[in-house]
Structure 1
Amino acid sequence: MSSTKDLIYQLEDRPTTGAALLAAFQHVLASFIGIITPTLVIGGVLGLGEEIPYLISMALFVSGVATLIQVKGIGPVGSGLLSIQGTSFSFVGGVIAAGLAVKGQGGDTREVLATVFGVCMVGSFIEMALSRFLGKLRKIITPTVTGIVVCLIGLSLIKVGITDIAGGFGAEDFGSLRNLGIAALVILTVLILQLSRYPMLRLSAIFIGLVVGCLVAAILGKVSVPGLDKVELVAIPQFFKYGLSFSWEAFLPLMFIFVITAIETVGDLTASSRVSGQPCSGPVYEKRIQGGVLGDGLNSLLAGCLNTFPNTTFSQNNGVIQLTGVASRYVGFFVAGIFILLGLFPAVGAVLQSIPKPVLGATTTLMFGTIAVAGIRILASEEFNRKKVLTVAISFGLGLGVALVPDLLQGMPPLVQKIFSSSITTGGLTAILCTLLLPDVDITEEEPKAAVEKEVSV
């Protein structure tokens, strides 16, 4: 169990409405772009055009409902932790591949979406089934594996934050002194407030940093609010708006991603437990992990029903918990309510979307860094032997390697490229294989020393 001395509000504490809203708003800001970006990317590549605004609204709406299920816990479903759900980046490549396959066969926009949502709904049952066997998989998904996955999640996301600091992908002023200066001011503001002795300043550090950054960006002409007259007033959720279809060709690339997502969710929830001062082993932990992964799968099923892409736990919110010191799961109810409202009223989301990239990138980079630290702390809690040292070394080496040198896999089949281009997938699978195949050899100070002395004497 992680220490709770740095927490202002623990898991079952009930903050005041003002404090809960402040913390919730920071969680929303941390995950808002992450929720809508996969839809923007998928919609752009597949040419979904006029359907994109509705798909974004449904992504936010379902994230709210899914977060409520995950945080509250309904029977065996949900972790009961302050764990935020959102559209998963992991599925972007698979969804695009599925959509392009349907388009290649002459399918229109409705057929593309019907097939994508159909195969995602079928795939969600894989994750739900895996949740029932997590206890038996503990010999495979060890703390070493989860620590590696959590650390790789944080490290792989840092590129996203740094890109936003520079101005965002494709920005005309990418890497300009103005963008870097704004981001530096936000980071400095957050750090100063985090070192304050006053809990409320620490709790609101991210929010104040964002406000300061937005004000300076506005003075420098970096803030532009979109034309709200072109935004739909209300988005009404509709079940199966585009119909349902299924294709094995579209399903196979996505099938494996659901398995990897279950492993990522175990890592995310383990990190959530640690930063919330909750057990990371034992029956309480096991129940939370099972409920969380089951909730992950059920929420992906719900996402397909309501015309959006698969959901998963968001790791960046663990960084918010660490930075604010608020682990109360009741904050999650406010987060869920905000997302549901954002989904129903697209204009509100359009305004939040106007936060300058350097401002948002500065805060997310800090959060992603704290996620990597959470993974390091999980690894540090383990007693290392030679097998674990080699497992960590090889997993980080290959995981970060495919991220740093993406052309490494250009000679492999397209399916292999899609699966192993992710540092999380490559590092996570490597960790699992090492756990299964490498023999357990203890590192002791005495044995190597004695062996060396014996050889020298001979």
Structure 2
Amino acid sequence: MSSSSLHRTQPEGIDYPVLVDRVSKDPVDQGSFKRRIAFAKHKVTSKDGWLGDYDYAWLCIPSLPFSKSNRKLPPFYSLDADLPLALAITSGLQHALAMLAGLITPPIIFASALNLDSATSAYMISASLIGSGILSLVQLSRTPLFGGYYLGTGLISVVGTSFSTLSTATAIFDAMYQDGTCSSTVGADDTTIRNACPDAYGKVLGTSIICSFLEMFLAFIPPRILKRIFPPLVTGTVVLLIGASLVGSSGVPNWGGGASNCETAPTGIFALCPTTLAPKPLPWGAPQFIGLGFLSFISIVLTEMFGSPFLKNISIIVGLAVGCIVSGAAGYIDGSSITTAPSITFLWVHTFKIGVYPPAILPMLAVYVSTTMEAIGDITASAELSRVDVRGVEFDSRVQGGVLSDGFGGFMSALFTVAPLSVFAQNNGVIAMTRCANRSAGRWCCAFLILFGILGKISGVFLAIPNPVIGGVTTFLFASVAVSGIRVLALMDFTRRDRFILAAALSFGVGDLLVPNIFTELFNGVKNPSSGLQGLFNSITIILSTPFLVAGIVAVILNLLLPQETDIPEAVSDEESDLEGQKEGISDVGTSAA
């Protein structure tokens, strides 16, 4: 029987693609090594194996606004369906490109906050890409463990640095500079300039390793209990404030020229943004900077209006590309980071001294609780888009495996010199748009991410992007996070109890956003505290000064203490019951939505 006499089908309940004899219609023995070789040969050498029956023109043809398309949608490819190679590669590339902005933003912001040199900053970007590719493979695997427990979701659940980690780490870095863990230089005009402090990043990594065990423990708590503790009221509030705080602390300041001393203390080399050593330095908020950021922003909008499905999935990258082309032609790009970046790199080319910063333990524990909430929502969204039942024992095991892999990823990513990696939400839009939930596409995505990380020049390119371009794109990115939080809150019934809890949580969260320094002097009146007590004070200050942390804690406490509403309808229809089930299995609360 030649390979030409074989075709693929996907019988119900069979995961591995089955070869069927066109004449006898009998399945070919899967245990035969020769049959597997025949299948692989058919896959690689035939047009059907490469292209299948997918409508690639639909994926690439631009759309026109205000027009209705009557074109037939492409077929849906489930988790383990036989996927054409061309579609697997194309879809995997889309997943990787859709993730890029979310993966490169945290290391750039970390490096900027600690004033690290360009070589270290470029390495941090490469490590983030490589670590994401490796740990996303773990999430894709769904490896059976013991007692019915799993590691991984078995879905296209990619991972990246959570923006909750980004917001908290920034507050931790501020505390380190204030208490002398990191040094600063005071200029002649009494302005304070932070010195490079790579050890601060190492302490965050070490603290993350310890705190990751909390999420691994939470993975063994039944998902239904976790959902009761962290309902949409809590998760929506947390996600909303994460996005809002990042817009104010990073997105808009970078749009104006840079979230550094050039904004807050313009003197010395920071008299102009990003520094006076830049190719074309300008005052913070200069119209040229605002224009570059707006150009990137409007490129995202135009891509959504006119772009093909492929381009819409990578609109953030389009915004970055357009901004870089114009800013490069206008002379705003310093190419030194590209020329000095290595051609090939990998993990541990640069290392950081691992340590523990005691005041960061409580905030990082809260971060891992937050990433647990994010993971449950993102896994639910991925399962729904992958047409997997979001109720029942199998789905609960996917949530358990995903949360466990999330905690394991936090542990391993710190060893990879990467800030905690948790489940991302970007890929959900790609699944919905391409109608491809196949894990083969996820594996190709991981391969592309690892490749992008190994090619060191790519990190140099990302590092050369001007601050206003990054600001225009990340402002949209972080605002999308806030919108995800609003969407989660929209699933609530908004009873009087819900409104009361939300108002109490936002009292602290919005207060922190508008008056960031309100709690910084809280414990200054305590005389001669011991080192342990001072560490506790610092921990509390970090939590109170981080909007999503303090609001999340208030929401959780009040949700557990206040009695539920007793005004329940006497009869609930089946449709209403299903709607309540969907609300309980809340989707897409990822703080990395784009």
The normalised TM-score by structure 2 is 0.62
Distance 1:214 1:50 in 2: 20
The answer to whether the Cα contact below 8 Å between 2:156 and 2:382 also exists between their aligned partners in 1 is no
Distance 1:197 1:271 in 2: 26
In the TM superposition, residue 296 of structure 1 has moved relative to its aligned partner by: 2.1
1:235 aligns with 2:345: yes
In structure 1, the residue matched to 2:37 is none
3-state SS of paired residue (1:139)? helix
1:408 aligns with 2:518: yes
Tell me which amino acid in the other structure corresponds to 2:237. Answer: I
Q: Pick from 102, 109, 118: which aligns with 1:30?
A: 102
Distance 1:341 1:203 in 2: 20
The answer to whether the Cα contact below 8 Å between 1:60 and 1:340 also exists between their aligned partners in 2 is yes
Q: Pick from 142, 146, 151: which aligns with 1:77?
A: 151
Q: Pick from 126, 151, 159: which aligns with 2:240?
A: 151
In the TM superposition, residue 314 of structure 1 has moved relative to its aligned partner by: 4.6
The answer to whether the Cα contact below 8 Å between 2:501 and 2:555 also exists between their aligned partners in 1 is yes
The percentage of counterpart residues that share the same residue type is: 23
In structure 2, the residue matched to 1:356 is 466
Q: Pick from 556, 560, 564: which aligns with 1:436?
A: 560
Say which structure is richer in helix: 1
User: Where does 1:218-367 land on structure 2 (aligned, <5 Å)?
Assistant: 218-238=328-348, 250-251=357-358, 253-267=360-374, 269-271=376-378, 273-274=380-381, 277-278=384-385, 283=393, 286-314=396-424, 317=426, 328=437, 332-367=442-477
The answer to whether the Cα contact below 8 Å between 2:254 and 2:468 also exists between their aligned partners in 1 is yes
**Could you list the per-position Cα deviations for residues 252-287 of structure 1 after superposition, in whole angstroms to 9, with x for gaps in the alignment?**
532442243222441355156448744776656544
In structure 2, the residue matched to 1:448 is none
3-state SS of paired residue (2:161)? strand
In structure 2, the residue matched to 1:379 is 489
**Could you list the per-position Cα deviations for residues 12-39 of structure 1 after superposition, in whole angstroms to 9, with x for gaps in the alignment?**
4864523542442232133312234324
User: Where does 1:46-195 land on structure 2 (aligned, <5 Å)?
Assistant: 54-75=123-144, 76-79=150-153, 80-86=155-161, 88-89=165-166, 90-94=168-172, 117-133=205-221, 135=223, 136-159=225-248, 160-169=250-259, 170=262, 171=273, 172-195=282-305
Distance 1:233 1:240 in 2: 15
Gap change, CA 1:264 and 1:141, over 3 Å in 2? same
In the TM superposition, residue 7 of structure 1 has moved relative to its aligned partner by: 11
In the TM superposition, residue 127 of structure 1 has moved relative to its aligned partner by: 1.9
Gap change, CA 1:186 and 1:275, over 3 Å in 2? farther
In structure 1, the residue matched to 2:6 is none
In the TM superposition, residue 6 of structure 1 has moved relative to its aligned partner by: 11
Distance 2:284 2:447 in 1: 35
Structure 2 unaligned residues grouped into runs of 5+: 1-71, 145-149, 184-196, 263-272, 274-281, 524-537, 570-594
Distance 1:113 1:366 in 2: 27
Tell me which amino acid in the other structure corresponds to 2:294. Answer: A
The answer to whether the Cα contact below 8 Å between 1:35 and 1:60 also exists between their aligned partners in 2 is no
The answer to whether the Cα contact below 8 Å between 2:152 and 2:402 also exists between their aligned partners in 1 is yes
**Could you list the per-position Cα deviations for residues 27-53 of structure 1 after superposition, in whole angstroms to 9, with x for gaps in the alignment?**
2133312234324534x3xx8998665
In the TM superposition, residue 92 of structure 1 has moved relative to its aligned partner by: 4.5
3-state SS of paired residue (1:353)? helix
The answer to whether the Cα contact below 8 Å between 1:10 and 1:276 also exists between their aligned partners in 2 is no
The answer to whether the Cα contact below 8 Å between 1:183 and 1:362 also exists between their aligned partners in 2 is yes
Distance 2:541 2:393 in 1: 38
Distance 1:34 1:110 in 2: 15
In the TM superposition, residue 98 of structure 1 has moved relative to its aligned partner by: 7.4
Q: Pick from 510, 520, 541: which aligns with 1:417?
A: 541
Structure 1 unaligned residues grouped into runs of 5+: 446-458
Query: Which range moved further: 12-21 or 25-34?
Result: 12-21
Query: Which range moved further: 370-379 or 384-393?
Result: 370-379
**Could you list the per-position Cα deviations for residues 144-193 of structure 1 after superposition, in whole angstroms to 9, with x for gaps in the alignment?**
21122222222222222222322222324422222222333333332233
The answer to whether the Cα contact below 8 Å between 2:140 and 2:157 also exists between their aligned partners in 1 is yes
The answer to whether the Cα contact below 8 Å between 2:512 and 2:547 also exists between their aligned partners in 1 is yes
Gap change, CA 1:94 and 1:288, over 3 Å in 2? farther
In the TM superposition, residue 324 of structure 1 has moved relative to its aligned partner by: 6.5
The answer to whether the Cα contact below 8 Å between 1:8 and 1:199 also exists between their aligned partners in 2 is no
The answer to whether the Cα contact below 8 Å between 2:234 and 2:555 also exists between their aligned partners in 1 is yes
Q: Pick from 427, 440, 445: which aligns with 2:551?
A: 427
Distance 1:198 1:110 in 2: 42
Tell me which amino acid in the other structure corresponds to 1:84. Answer: V
The normalised TM-score by structure 1 is 0.78
The answer to whether the Cα contact below 8 Å between 2:88 and 2:444 also exists between their aligned partners in 1 is no
Matched residue count? 430
The answer to whether the Cα contact below 8 Å between 2:410 and 2:420 also exists between their aligned partners in 1 is yes
Tell me which amino acid in the other structure corresponds to 1:376. Answer: I
Gap change, CA 1:71 and 1:371, over 3 Å in 2? farther
Gap change, CA 1:7 and 1:131, over 3 Å in 2? farther
The answer to whether the Cα contact below 8 Å between 2:520 and 2:545 also exists between their aligned partners in 1 is no
Q: Which structure exhibits the higher relative contact order, with contacts defined as CA atoms closer than 8 Å and separated by 6 or more residues? A: 1
In structure 2, the residue matched to 1:454 is none
3-state SS of paired residue (1:85)? strand
Gap change, CA 1:272 and 1:158, over 3 Å in 2? farther
3-state SS of paired residue (1:382)? coil
Gap change, CA 1:367 and 1:275, over 3 Å in 2? farther
The answer to whether the Cα contact below 8 Å between 1:165 and 1:362 also exists between their aligned partners in 2 is yes
3-state SS of paired residue (2:517)? helix
The answer to whether the Cα contact below 8 Å between 1:184 and 1:362 also exists between their aligned partners in 2 is yes
Tell me which amino acid in the other structure corresponds to 1:140. Answer: I
The answer to whether the Cα contact below 8 Å between 1:165 and 1:359 also exists between their aligned partners in 2 is yes
In structure 1, the residue matched to 2:315 is 205
Tell me which amino acid in the other structure corresponds to 1:258. Answer: L
Q: Give the aligned CA root-mean-square deviation in angstroms.
A: 4.0
3-state SS of paired residue (1:294)? helix
In the TM superposition, residue 303 of structure 1 has moved relative to its aligned partner by: 2.4
Gap change, CA 1:285 and 1:236, over 3 Å in 2? same
3-state SS of paired residue (1:408)? coil
